[in-house]
Structure 1
Amino acid sequence: MTVTINGKQNTFEQELTVQELLEKVNVELQEYVTVQVNDEILKRENFDFTTIRDGDRVEFLYYMGGGC
């Protein structure tokens, strides 16, 4: 299956949950990442239950605070 992650195509042998995908692609700081699948932001408690399928678009987003 082919999945677009942060604008780049990736190929996987089978469907994965969001949590499995985070681990498979070695996402750093997983506790701080926000995941968007097909333009929908997921709740963290759904990472283990949401399946990534062929053709899905996934974005890993990090929100940083700061400024004056």
Structure 2
Amino acid sequence: MSQEKIVNLDQKIKATPKTSISPINELALKTTKEIVIKFIEMGRCSPATFEEVFTQVFSVVKKTIDED
């Protein structure tokens, strides 16, 4: 199930017109996706916690990008 959410997210990113998402947000989403995939592979994230983990990781990634 978590893989389905990741695939859906990837499809949403690809389907979103490039003018409606900033390059910074696109980078943050892609980075977050890769991190969460690793968490799933390591067993640190489950389908039940996917949304919460994704939101937390995205927040940290976005904050880190914005600090530079």
User: With structure 1 as the length reference, what TM-score do the two structures score?
Assistant: 0.30
User: With structure 2 as the length reference, what TM-score do the two structures score?
Assistant: 0.30
Kindly indicate which of the two structures has a greater share of residues assigned to helix.
2
* Higher RCO (CA < 8 A, seq sep 6+): 1
Kindly indicate which of the two structures has a greater share of residues assigned to strand.
1
